[in-house]
Every structure is written in structure tokens, then in C-alpha cells.
Chains A and B, each alone.
Chain A
Amino acid sequence: MTPDLLYHIRTVVYLSASITFIIGLKQMGNPATARRGNLIAAAGMILAIIVSVFINVKKIKLDNGLFDYVQSQPPAFVYWLILAAIVIGTVIGWFTAIKVKLTRMPELVSMFNGMGGACAALIGLIEFHHNTDNTGALVAIVLGMIIGSTSFSGSIIAFLKLNGSMKKPIRMPAYNMINTIWLIAMFAFGAYMIFGGSSSTLLITLLFISALAYGILFVIPIGGADMPVVISLLNSFTGLAAAFGGFLYDNKVMLTGGILVGSAGTILTIVMCKAMNRPLFNVIFGAFGQNNASGDGVAVTGSIKDISISDAAVMLNYSKNVVIVPGYGLAVAQAQHVIHELEVLLESRGVDVKYAVHPVAGRMPGHMNVLLAESNVDYSKLIEMEDINPEFEHTDVVLVVGANDVVNPAAKTDSSSPIYGMPILEVDKAKNIIVNKRSMNTGYAGIENLLFYDPKTSMLFGDAKKVLSDLVAEIKAIG
């Protein structure tokens, strides 16, 4: 086949892959078609990768306005290297994705996002030398490298924060100032690399390192509760970095894929911020914790009241309706199956059971729905916040399992609280509240929860799985 024919074949495949990305993303927005959408996009991606390996043709514009198509054939060992790299990546990626527990998924997404960012950054780092005389290409290289590296190191920090290795936000004095200056200096440095005519390996490596450092500086002060927003933002960064790669190689499938994710990721970030009532600006510039002093200083009145398993069992068994509020604690204890057992048991006793799912319950929006769906909880029993809030005043018992900040009334009443203004599940309106927690430790936002001191609240301390299993056994005994 002639090079121009090969080039056109590749163009058709790239076009098809771009369409699968758009259709895939669209279908992922609807529960009924979501899985198919993901598979369609994956199929498009495989095709795009295959033609990229086997069709290496450049389109060059000639002086007379026509195009020339130049095919180049690298030595065979390059193909073997690429094949080996793809096999290694596939095996590791596949097994990590399959083996990991569903509760750990948010941090895994962050990790994979970081890998994409690093890939984009490496492309920029290597291509710099080939393009020192081409300003347009340098713009794409330098920006792609800065954004890719920031996304990589930022994602790794987000990963560490989500898996608990780095729980407290680390704030240097005047960190906002340092970060802003760093950011400006980095882009100034980048501009110098583009327009200054430098071809120094040392300088481009320094820029690479300073972008890695910026990613760390950017994410390290942000609290764990805001990580979903940060990951979503870094996700759109990586999209942008991929798009710059597309610009560099004049590769349309990289451009469409990258820009789609860049813009979709930005919108998703904004939507998530809205769900948590946290302006993006506050997330990045750290309103959480800045007024921590006043948050800790909330006057706590009243005392904690314990309840025994048997009392709790009686209370649940003889109530008309129960609302379960699942939180991350439930996920950590792997208690999603036993909570379903409890729900089925109570229903068999004529109790109406529902789940109240906060938009950010778990570690990411929708995370809790995934976990409960895993244990076969009926989809129609998961009620979203806006719909369940008016029902709480008619609810006999609310059972809070491992949730904290999302039920903290301080979000509505205490304007000095760091979570003030966040929409919450208004469980304090219910007739009785049972809270299962491992200990009196504060939640992810690191603040006291006034709900626990409410006279209507009883605390049921212990590991969620154990406590719920005991409850199930106790309720069975009542029958």
C-alpha cells in the first residue's frame, strides 16, 4: 500500500476512535447505557493504538501547496520494545484494576491519572531537543510537560492522601503565596524555554523537576475531604496535556480525546464542587482548616449517650421506618453486605427501610452507590439527599454507619465551621438517631460533630461490620 493510502486509513480509524470517545462519554452519563459506553470507548482506543503502531506516516506540506506522505520504518527492535512496554503496562494495569477492592477505587483512579500525566511529561522531555527551532512545537512541548508533570506528582499526593498515608493537610506558612509565585515563575521559565532559543538539557530537566515540585505544592495543603475535586481537576489537566501532545504531532485522536477530557473534566469538577457547596477557589486556596481554630473551638454542650446492641435492636425492630445513612466507615469495614442483610431482615419485620446517600458519601461522588450496588441493595432504595431530607422528620430511627461530616448540623448552624454551607443530610430532625462509629475521632474534615451530643442521639461504638452483624443476630433473636 502506498504511504498516502495508509495515512488515509489511519485518519479514518482516528476519526472512528474520536466518535467512540464522544459516544462513550455520552452513554456513561446514563446508568442504563454506562457500561456499554465505557466498552465502546475502550474499543476505539484499541483501534487507535493499533494503527498508531503499524502506520507511521507523516504528512508534509510541499512548497507548491500539495502534500507529500512520508512513511518511515524504524528498526525491528523498536517494535519489540513497544510491544513489550504495552504487554507490561497491560498486565500490571489489568491486575491492579481487577484485584483492588471497590473501596480503594478512588485512589486507583488517581494513580492511573498520574500515569497518563507522566506519559505526557516524558513525551515533552524527549521531544524538546528535536524541536528547538520550532516555536509552535515548543509551546505544545513545554505546556504539555508542565501540565503533565504537575498532574503526575499531584495525583501521587492525592493517592497517598486517599489511602491514608498522608492524612493531614501540610501547610507551610504563606503557602498560597509560595504556590502562586512558584506557578508564575514556572510559566516564566517555560516562556524562556519557548522563546529564549535555549537547547540546554539541564534547563529543560530543571523545568520538568520544578513542575513536579509544583504538583506536590499544589495538592499537599488540600484536605482529604476535597480530594475528589482535586482528582477530577488533575484528570482534566492530564486531558489537556494529552491534547498538547496531539498538537505537537498533529494527531487528531490525541487532540479530541485530550480536549474532551479536559473540558468534560472541568465541568465535572465544577459540578462536584456544587454538590459539596465548596467553591473551587476555596478548595484550591484552602478554606478548609484555615479557620480550623474556630472550628475546633465550637462550644460542645451536652454529653455522649451510649446504647447497647440489644436496645438498638429493639428500637429498630419496633419502628415503622428506618433510614440508613452509610458513610466511608461502612466501606472501610467492608460492611456493605451485612447492612443489606440488616435491611432485608427489618423489611421482613414490616419496617420500611431506605438509604440516604449524600452526594459525596464515601470518598467520591457516587462511590457509595457503587459499594451498595455491589452488595445487591435495590437501586430504588438509595435516596438522594434532596429527596430524603424532607422525610427525616417522619422517620422513627436514623442509623448512621460510619458517616460523620455529611450529617454534622454545624454545616447549617455554625458559620465559623469549616464545613459551614455544605449541604448535609438533616438527620437531626428524625425522632431517634443511632450513630455507629469506631471511636470519637473526628471525621475527614477534622471537626467536632454536634449531632453526637444531641439528646436524641445514641452512640453505638465499634467496628461497623461487627456491630451490624451483632444487630442482625439480636433482631433475629427478637423474632
Chain B
Amino acid sequence: MIDQILEFIGTHEEMIFFILLSVFVGVEVISGVPAILHTPLMSGANAIHGVVIVGAIILMLNLEPENTIGMALGFLAVVLGTLNVVGGFAVTDRMLEMFKKK
């Protein structure tokens, strides 16, 4: 099992560095945000993880066409992912609309 894990790290070397750097970017981007923007920011971040819909699309495109259950669940996944994206960005926009300069 240790071999497998080490091999995994070795073969995904670039990916692991990439993840590490992304984590720091995420932390950096959020630091020092005023409390009043916490809710919209959480909502905006919520919309961004809706990017998981891309995975649901890839899943459906590469599924065996005769796999009915898989297709049905994949369909559901795309609907849910779209809800996350569209609802997320729309709600955030409604909140931030309130902060516009008068």
C-alpha cells in the first residue's frame, strides 16, 4: 500500500504542486475582507464550486449510451450542478446589487 501511495505521489507530482499553490492563492484572495462582505463572498464562492458541473458533463459524454441508470443519475447531476452555478451567481448578484454606489 505504501508503494502504491508513493507511486501515486510520483506520477501526480505536478498536480500536487499545483494543488498546493492553489490553496495559497485561495487563502491570499480571502484575507482581509471586511465582515460586511462575508455573506456575499460565501455565496460567490458557493457559485464557483458549481464548476463541479463540468465533471458531470464529462461523465455524461463518456458514459456507455446503454447505461440507463448512469445516464439518469448523470442527468440529475447536471441539473444539480446547473442549479448550483446559476442559482449561486444570481443570488450573489442580488446581494451585491445592494452595495452599489448611490
CB of A408 closer than 8 Å to a CB of B: no
Q: List B residues 74-93 near A (Cβ within 8 Å).
A: 74-93
Interchain CA distance A21-B49 in the complex, whole Å: 10
B80 CB contact (under 8 Å) in A48, A118, A235, A369: A118
CB of A374 closer than 8 Å to a CB of B: yes
CB of A154 closer than 8 Å to a CB of B: no
Q: Are A98 and B90 in touch, CB under 8 angstroms?
A: yes
Given contacts A29-B30, A264-B30, A272-B38, contact A109 B43 (CB under 8 A): yes
Interface residue tally for chain A (C-beta within 8 Å) = 118
- Residues on A with C-beta less than 8 A from B55 are 119-120, 123, 242, 245-246, 248-249, 251, 254
B91 CB contact (under 8 Å) in A28, A97, A262: A97
Q: Are A45 and B85 in touch, CB under 8 angstroms?
A: yes
CB of A65 closer than 8 Å to a CB of B: no
> Across the A-B interface, how many residue pairs have beta carbons closer than 8 Å?
367
- Residues on B with C-beta less than 8 A from A109 are 39, 42-43, 46, 88, 91
In chain A, what residue has the closest Cβ to B67?
A126
Q: Are A41 and B89 in touch, CB under 8 angstroms?
A: yes
Q: Are B98 and A38 in touch, CB under 8 angstroms?
A: no
Q: Are B41 and A369 in touch, CB under 8 angstroms?
A: no
Given contacts A49-B85, A96-B87, contact A257 B62 (CB under 8 A): no
CB of A232 closer than 8 Å to a CB of B: yes
Chain B binding surface, main DSSP class: helix
Q: Are B40 and A34 in touch, CB under 8 angstroms?
A: yes
Q: Are B54 and A24 in touch, CB under 8 angstroms?
A: no
Chain A binding surface, main DSSP class: helix
13 A-B contacts (beta carbon < 8 Å): A38-B40, A41-B44, A93-B86, A93-B87, A97-B90, A123-B55, A136-B11, A249-B58, A255-B22, A257-B48, A259-B19, A275-B35, A367-B39
How many whole Å from B30's CB to the nearest CB in chain A? 4
CB of A373 closer than 8 Å to a CB of B: yes
How many whole Å from B85's CB to the nearest CB in chain A? 6
Report the stretch among A82-90, A389-397, A426-434, A450-458 that lies at the interface.
A82-90
How many whole Å from B58's CB to the nearest CB in chain A? 5
Interchain CA distance A23-B50 in the complex, whole Å: 17
In chain B, what residue has the closest Cβ to A110?
B46
- Residues on B with C-beta less than 8 A from A52 are 54, 57-58
Interface string of B88-102 (1 = CB under 8 A from A): 111111111111111
A112 CB contact (under 8 Å) in B58, B65, B84, B101: B84
